[in-house]
Chain A
Amino acid sequence: MFHLVGRAYDFLAPRKGSLLVLCAITCLACSFFVSRLVVREDISTMLPDDSGRIASDFALLRLAPFAQRLTITVRHAGANPIQAAEILATALRRDPVFTRVLTGPPSNISLTFLTKLLPLAPALLTRLDTETLHALTDPEHVQTALEQNRRDLLSPGAVALKNVIRQDPLGIRNIVLPKLAAPSRLADVRIENGHFVSRDGKHALILVDTDIPMTDSLGAAKVMGSYEKALATLPEGAQAMLVGGHRHTHVNAQAIKGDLKIILPSALILLALIFLLFMRNRQSLYVFLVPVCVVGVAGTATALAYGSISGIVLGFGAVLLGISVDYALHVYFALQNSNSDENHTPAHTLTQISPAITFGALTSCTALAALLMSDIPGIRQLAVFSLFGIIVSFFMSLLILPHFITTKTGRRIITTPHNTRRACSVAPLITLWIAILSVGIWFGQHTRINGDLREMSFTPLEIQAEEDATRAVWGSMRDLALIFVRAQTFDDALEKNDRVWSFLQTNNATSSIISLAPLLPSMQTQLQNVERWEAFWQENGQKTLALMDTKQKALGFSSSAFSPFSEFISTAPETFSSESLHELGIQEFVDVLAMRDDGEFLVLTLLPDTMENAALLSDDAERELGARFVSGSRFRELLGDAMRIDVLCFSGSALAGVALLNAILFRNPRKTLLALLPIGMGVTTVLAVMYCFGQALNLFHIVSLPLIIGLGADYGIFMVCRPEQSAKHQTARAVLFSGLTTLCGFGVLVLARHPALHSIGITVLTGVGAAMITALWVVPALNGERR
């Protein structure tokens, strides 16, 4: 079958010019297509979508009140921070980048606030509140309340308080007022002169909204630029700390840019050194063109298959396609050193090396195809991209590249046939493999997997310190867990929210919980409350009014003094909607906890992200309540678990597939085990290094593993096939060169400060390094070759 490759060479050789033109047109068209692609930069493509739980949790976490918002803490030593905050807020408001700048609660609480509050009481009267109502109508309290009312009506504030007192002489409004206190638990904040101020009065808070998504790196730079400009207006001595996703995006983009300034020159210098040392040939440039063309073609094919392509996939796909240079290098070295005098025509050489290349490509495809089993859509897309790349590289290396490589003339590399010694038997190999696997499994089990997306980004100490300081001042308002309920109508969502609140009350977990339920119950609950209110006054109304009548006369009140109250408790009470809360000036609070999403209504409850709360909101409890508990810590745990399963699945499948293909190729257990050694050593070394340096395996390590498996498989096959081919094919040089270029190209990423780039660097450096050393020295030794 492999002689077809030789025949194809002979067929295409006279059509070399047309082939070049066709190839150039295709590559240029693909490159143009890729450059015009709308690349998606959404991190959610790198989150598992198996049960929808992780992806939907991630989407829900983004709806948390402070997730998209910028939080600015202003401090002015020895001066009032409010003034400094107001100066900064004014500067921010002038910039169109910021759509909303809040320095305090809405100031539309009117003089009639207390009178508007009272009509809500009937619909908010819980069973517990009824006890308060009993206390308020107690004769002793009635006497005290009327005396207080008399004093208040004689004070200078009487003008404003008179209507409130006439309507509510017993202080029923005090049943409603505590329910309005929930927003204050959102952050450890108090209101001073209409501004958010810390408990110690040393800090003022500014909340800033922008329409620019925090994942947009260019937009984030604009946001941070505008913020820096506004900072210049701060008075001398005042300081501000900004916490928000945009700052992270900006600093990460800058860190990557900074890293590239070091990495690119380093990689180029190292690659140039390798070129000067090993190749020094114009034709070798064609080898480098193969992966370049492959990225364009694979990108185009993936974009056509998916409709769009993730920026992360494009970036990491290019890394993975480091494998694609293998085949071109192998062909290059084989052809360069073939000799027509010895009947080694290029066609013959290609026929001879094509089994190794074919199986190398097949094993790489198997390793990458295993990624298709991943629950992470981005990794599946990465697999498709890389598969296209390997296939294109395979055909380009065997069918197109050979026409541009000529045999060396005048300076033939003389290679002596390999001395052979007795190859080791299967038993020591099996022992070696058991040792490698045991070590690998041990390290694999003891290496932590980190699902925390935050730790995959670059966070300078300064930002970390400011985030800690912000948390110390305002509490963990950005780290709260959330309970979501979702329904087709707002009232249905409120009904579910009532059930959640009731559940939390039953479990004594409401102390630090922020919920809309006490302030805006569903219609059903409101009607129950109204019924309770009517029942109370039916039983106690006349008695209370009679009691008040007696006491008010004694205190000099007129008979009509409290007629509004009498009317209020006699009239059939009404339910209310969220609009009534808007009129009270607390719409901001309502909007934070109730929103629309995908045509449905969402109501959320905020609670501390503790293990106790996570345990309380178990899967069973969620099902029973029709609610969803989402928290940062649970999300990280779920993501870590999903990644662990992913690693096990794809690593196991890849290794099994590669082993099977090797077995088919070699039909010899010893050679099969030998060819697999580089992969085993590569993966085991990565795990061992991670463990020894106390590093946890993250998403970027995982997406780099296929490179180790793919390259390791190629190296193993090439080196085990070597004695079966002509010794002139310079297989070891090809493997060494492939390994070195990969280490120089991607291993230098280990110099990066950015955790993602560093993770790829450390994986490639250790994994490919170990696989290359194993292939070049261990495999030949065990294969009975003597150099």
Chain B
Amino acid sequence: MLRAFSTSATGMAAQQLMVDTIANNLANINTTGFKRSQVAFQDLLYITLTEPGTEVVSGTNTPTGLEIGSGVQTAATVKVFSNGELENTNKPLDIAILGEGFLQVSMPNGDIRYTRDGSLQLNANGELVTITGYPIEPAISVPIDATSIDIGKDGGVNITDAAGTQSVVGTIQLARFPNPSGLSSEGGNLLAETLASGTATTGTAGESGFGTIQSGFLEKSNVQMITELVNLITAQRAYETNSRAIRAGDEMLRQANQIARF
């Protein structure tokens, strides 16, 4: 049987995964804080038919070997953490992180998740929560008598009460990872720490490598429609070509079968 069939099949599967990834990127083009994924491929192992340096005649060795590869495999899907464009919303509780860092979100079971989506809200108890309703970590409560709220560049949450006095009720802390590409996506704009990502370092916005917080803005997704569409066309064509290789291989086998007809 032709090895080329399975080789081309790995090529088709790879392009299919590429289309799946592009589809998810495009579907999330308007998702706040979404980071696009890119697929990383690597070549599969090789079958060595002739070792390089095999002796052809005494004293003469082949300069190169003959290795036939067996296709392609996916190494990883990698999230690209470049910053998205900022959109002005004029809502004081909408925050965008300019630079590196994630907001920490505390889940009902006590786990911490991480997000770039800064569309914060106040819940019935006056706590700062994400748009899904999970409180941010460390928890910040806004008193009921606050008339206005304002988040500074360092993440400090300032309120003005009915009497007109200003006070700081808490500071939003950011988290950072040695390898953000290693974070696992949990859906709902949340990311979870893994062995690959390393442990989170928390800190104050604007200090030691953390980005600053911009209130009144949201970070849009970093998906570029043109780039994705170009990638989509490329993936589709590559898929087609790999399927054509299977067809050509099939044709070759058909001809081989016809020899026996005499």
The answer to whether A binds B is: no
Residues of chain A touching chain B, judged by Cβ–Cβ distance below 8 Å, are none
